[in-house]
Amino acid sequence: MTKPTSGARGATHRVVSALIQQIESGALQPGDQLPTIAALAERYGVNKNTASKAVVDLKSKGLLSGLAGGNTWVRVPPPNAKRRNTRYHLEKKAVQLPESERSIAGVSEADAGIPVENLFEDTADYAVIEAPEDIRGALDLPRGATVLRRVYTRRHAQKAGAGRSTSYIPYDLVSGSPDLLDSTREPWPGGTMHQLYTIGVELDRIDDHVTASMPSPDEVRDFDIPPSVPMVRIRKISYSTEGNPVELMDIPIPGDRIELIYTTKLERWKECP
């Protein structure tokens, strides 16, 4: 294979630098569509291959978005989120507060500091399905059992990557409560802990199972993930005070926009007499 000449590398660098300058100066705004490869090649006096390499380079830097063969636009920067395990203590403490207070501090506010009313997209898709095998095992359900599956999708701005989580609750647990089966009541003030509280379920503990893997092609598209960025995958399982698993939530988060913070409170040594 013939290595690219320094001239070819220089031409690519020139296009990259010019586009970065436009992005940093505001001449190209987040969400703005980029000219076609042919138009870029003509504008900067390079061949199409050089223009294409410049676009690929800027996608790898997280400055441009778009899949190969389609439109390309200036990437909408994702919000950086901090997810603390101490959130669960605050959520449980808020369960018995008035609705006006419960509605103030939800997941969006806690993680990214973005009020729900400022989100570009905030949807909840409910469906009753037969529990997939891994979900059935984690929730200790019999074969053939059904679950209420809730898929939450949020975007903080137009053309921004999505945030998505999928919740599974044993259907028998909520089947007698129409409000908990109604997606139009989302976002629910106080979230799942308060929903469970309305049917007499108190949570005792939450286990977060954290793994990582590369994203699927669909995740790359939907979450707007730059090349080579892995997914942090949190499987959150909530247990009642009776020791029963009552909800499982899968939370995939691109690794370029999340910081996981775990605080472990240690018991103090007893003072010697």
User: Does residue 196 have a pLDDT over 70?
Assistant: yes
Please confirm whether the linkage preceding 187 is cis (ω < 30° from 0): yes
DSSP line for 15-49: HHHHHHHHHHHTSS-TTPBPPPHHHHHHHHT--HH
Give the CA dihedral 179, 182, 187, 192, nearest 10 degrees: 60
Burial of 39 (0-12, 13-18, 19+ CB in 10 A): exposed
Same fold, 6-74 and 81-261: no
Q: Residue 255 in contact with residue 234, Cβ under 8 Å?
A: no
DSSP state of 214: P
Please provide the average confidence, as pLDDT, over all residues in the chain: 92
Predicted pLDDT of residue 105: 62
Among 66-75, 151-160, 196-205, whose mean pLDDT is lowest?
A: 66-75
Element of type H or E holding 174 = helix 171-174
**Class of CATH domain 6-74:** mainly alpha
- pLDDT by residue (tens digit) across 149-176? 999 999 999 999 999 999 999 999 999 9
Residues 6+ positions from 85 with CB-CB distance below 8 Å: 208, 261, 262, 263
CATH architecture assignment, domain 81-261: 3-Layer(aba) Sandwich (3.40)
Domain extent listing, the chain: 6-74, 81-261
User: Which one-letter amino acid corresponds to residue 50?
Assistant: T
